[in-house]
């Protein structure tokens, strides 16, 4: 077995891994980044994302940042344990030291370090602004890097190369080595020439398991066959980092049976072909029936829960049916990212035939919905409370009859943006074991950190990679951490 020696070994070249590599190199460490993809495809999912950040300014996260994550930071839990977690980590009862839920110290660190991390990134020429998003209605501001995730990846990679960080492309991490005292001393990987042992402290920043059908089926269930990664970068995320850490006793965290869901057009092969126009029509399944409130609130806050209901339908698919009014919504095309055209017809029966849906059932569904609509002021760019009456499920906003030809439809399925299950870390991005103790020499950053349950706190995943990547790199650059 070949061996290469470094101070810090980073698995993954997305925003989390590159943040860790740059921070460690700034601290004087000799760093190597291992990446499964070829150089031209480095960056994983980060290179494809617009990288929304849940911040009200470059220095501050949104007012609901901590409360929203905390409210969705665990499954069913004994309320006494919540109180126990409020104590300092060293004072917690042994049974509470390694719970796979959001640690208050980790959450506080996440919130407090977001602003300084943005300032740090700006030092590499990355610019941030409140740019237009794909959400026609929204409840929270979203800061974006100009040029999206790709701009961040390229800027950080350039800085890493300038600092002398080594890159090993088409190299896949396989397992962790430990010494007799349990310290992680190396990451064993494979490249085209065989097995390589990369000695040094290890930062796992290699994402979740959305690209691994076996793990998705094991954790999410057999319906995972109706999912696909949101972008091609997701196919490189196959869960090895999670597996190898669990194999040496790391604590899992996050909801392993769930994922961040986004509505996409299954006909499209482009990255993130999202369809966010559905609040202005009705969603029907393969039987031609409605099954969900299409517009419970602003689309940015509710699209995930609506998409989960689509995932539950037969074959994991639905269609949004719209009439001609949706084309008069200002900037309505912002909510449609697919490169495929809508299915268009001059009547509902003709649309049903084009979609291969039962004609009578779809016509009855539309007629029943139209009869439940009530007069009122339609305000498409704000919550207007224009709701149906006597209809189950109801539609809570923007409920106008679907009666103006031509009629449009888009198919929608759920994409797996990233998986929720991952590793538990402390506030220093150190992976903890089953007793809540940090595993010496092992860190995690980005999507591999398990933090979310139930509903994703939008626009926090990329920020999590930036913040904890930087923290991991800084700490790993200090030799012989404990």
Check: CB of residue 204 under 8 Å from CB of residue 11.
Answer: yes
Q: How much is the pLDDT for 83?
A: 78
> How far apart are alpha carbons 326 and 41 in whole angstroms?
37
Q: Please give the domain boundaries of the chain with CATH numbers for all domains.
A: 2-258+420-476 (3.50.50.60), 264-415 (3.90.700.10)
What sign does the dihedral 230-156-238-235 (CA atoms) show?
A: positive
Kindly report the average pLDDT of the chain as a whole number.
96
Residue 481, pLDDT above cutoff 60: no
Please write the tens of the pLDDT for every residue from 458-473: 999 999 999 999 999 9
Q: How much is the pLDDT for 480?
A: 62
Q: What is the mean pLDDT of residues 92-111?
A: 87
Q: What is the mean pLDDT of residues 171-178?
A: 98
Query: Which residues contact residue 330 at a Cβ distance below 8 angstroms, ignoring those fewer than 6 apart?
Result: 380, 381
Q: Which of 55-69, 97-111, 383-397, 399-413 is predicted with the least confidence, judged by mean pLDDT?
A: 97-111
Q: What is the mean pLDDT of residues 78-90?
A: 79
SS3 content of the chain, % helix, strand, coil (to 5): 35, 20, 45
SS3 of 84-105: HHCCCHHHCCHHHCCCCCCCHH
**pLDDT above 90 coverage of the chain, percent:** 92
Residue 97, pLDDT above cutoff 80: no
Residue 372, pLDDT above cutoff 90: yes
3-state secondary structure of 418: strand
Please write the tens of the pLDDT for every residue from 205-227: 999 999 999 999 999 999 999 99
Q: Which of 72-76, 286-290, 354-358 is predicted with the least confidence, judged by mean pLDDT?
A: 72-76
Give the β-pairing of 430-432 and 438-444: antiparallel
Q: What is the mean pLDDT of residues 97-101?
A: 79
The per-residue DSSP string of 70-84 comes to HHTS-SS--HHHHHH
Please write the tens of the pLDDT for every residue from 24-52: 999 999 999 999 999 999 999 999 999 99
Please write the tens of the pLDDT for every residue from 393-441: 999 999 999 999 999 999 999 999 999 999 999 999 999 999 999 999 9
The per-residue DSSP string of 351-365 comes to HHHHHT--HHHHHHH
Q: How much is the pLDDT for 277?
A: 98
Going by the DSSP 8-state scheme, the letter that residue 52 receives in this structure is -
3-state secondary structure of 159: helix
Q: How much is the pLDDT for 457?
A: 96
Please write the tens of the pLDDT for every residue from 221-263: 999 999 999 999 999 999 999 999 999 999 999 999 999 999 9
Residue 482, pLDDT above cutoff 60: no
Q: How many Å separate Cα 479 from the centre of its chain? A: 32
Please write the tens of the pLDDT for every residue from 305-332: 999 999 999 999 999 999 999 999 999 9
pTM: 0.95
């Amino acid at each position: 077995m070949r061996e290469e020696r470094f101070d810090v070994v980073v698995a993954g070249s997305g925003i989390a891994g590159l943040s860790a590599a740059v921070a460690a190199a700034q601290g004087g460490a000799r760093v190597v980044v291992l990446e499964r993809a070829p150089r031209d495809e480095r960056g994983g999912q980060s290179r494809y994302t617009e990288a929304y950040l849940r911040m009200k300014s470059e220095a501050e996260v949104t007012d609901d940042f901590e409360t929203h994550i905390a409210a969705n930071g665990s499954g069913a839990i004994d309320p006494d344990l919540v109180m126990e977690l409020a104590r300092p980590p060293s004072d917690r009862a042994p049974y509470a030291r390694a719970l796979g839920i959001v640690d208050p110290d980790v959450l506080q660190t996440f919130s407090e370090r977001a602003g300084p991390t943005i300032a740090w990134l700006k030092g590499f020429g990355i610019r941030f602004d409140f740019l237009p998003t794909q959400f026609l209605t929204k409840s929270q501001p979203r800061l974006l890097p100009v040029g999206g995730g790709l701009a961040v990846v390229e800027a950080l990679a350039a800085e890493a190369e300038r600092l002398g960080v080594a890159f090993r492309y088409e190299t896949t991490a396989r397992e962790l080595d430990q010494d007799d005292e349990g310290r992680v001393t190396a990451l064993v990987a494979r490249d085209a020439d065989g097995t390589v042992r990369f000695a040094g402290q290890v930062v796992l920043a290699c994402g979740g398991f959305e690209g691994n059908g076996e793990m998705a089926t094991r954790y999410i269930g057999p319906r995972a066959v109706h999912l696909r990664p949101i972008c091609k970068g997701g196919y490189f995320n196959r869960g090895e980092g999670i597996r190898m850490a669990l194999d040496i006793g790391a604590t899992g965290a996050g909801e392993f049976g769930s994922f961040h869901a986004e509505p996409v057009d299954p006909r499209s092969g482009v990255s993130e072909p999202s369809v966010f126009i559905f609040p202005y029509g009705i969603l029907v399944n393969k039987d031609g029936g409605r099954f969900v409130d299409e517009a419970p609130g602003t689309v940015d806050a509710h699209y995930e829960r609506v998409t989960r209901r689509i995932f539950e339908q037969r074959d994991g698919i639905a269609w949004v049916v719209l009439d001609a009014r949706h084309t008069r919504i200002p900037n309505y095309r912002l909510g449609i990212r697919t490169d495929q055209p809508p299915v268009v017809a001059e009547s509902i029966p003709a649309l049903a035939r084009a979609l291969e849906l039962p004609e009578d059932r779809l016509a009855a569904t539309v007629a029943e919905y139209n009869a439940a609509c009530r007069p009122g002021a339609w305000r498409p760019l704000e919550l207007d409370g224009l709701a149906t009456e006597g209809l189950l499920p109801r539609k809570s906003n923007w409920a106008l009859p679907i009666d103006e030809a031509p009629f449009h439809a888009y198919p929608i399925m759920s994409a797996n943006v990233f998986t929720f299950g991952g590793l538990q870390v402390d506030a220093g991005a150190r992976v903890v074991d089953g007793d809540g103790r940090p595993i010496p020499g092992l860190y995690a950053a980005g999507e591999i950190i398990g933090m979310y349950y139930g509903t994703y706190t939008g626009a926090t995943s990329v920020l999590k990679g930036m913040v904890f990547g930087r923290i991991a790199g800084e700490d790993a650059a200090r030799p012989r951490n404990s």
